[in-house]
Amino acid sequence: MKVGDIIENPWTTKANPLHHAIYFGVYGKNFRTLYFYQGRFQHATYRKEDREKFKVVGHLKEYDDFKNAIRNLDKSNKEVAECHQMK
């Protein structure tokens, strides 16, 4: 399981908003997810040892695109800053 994976909660039905979520990584003894409910994104936290019970059903490509865009922006900003220092 990696950040950006779409996971399925084994303890919920398909009608439950928590049934599918985006995995956002391990934080201490827990892992966090992001799900959509009542028109808003919400966080849910689960015990780290339960992670293997969740099923990966996809991956949010847009997460990878966003991460890469930020990295490229950071590189671009660094290059601009270095260029201004040379003048």
Range of the domain at 74: 5-86
Q: Total domain count for the chain? A: 1
Whole-prediction pTM value?
0.77
CA angle (76, 79, 85) in 5-degree steps: 145
Over the stretch 51-82, which tens digit does the pLDDT of each residue have?
A: 999 999 999 999 999 888 888 887 766 655 55
Do the beta carbons of residue 54 and residue 4 sit within 8 Å?
A: no
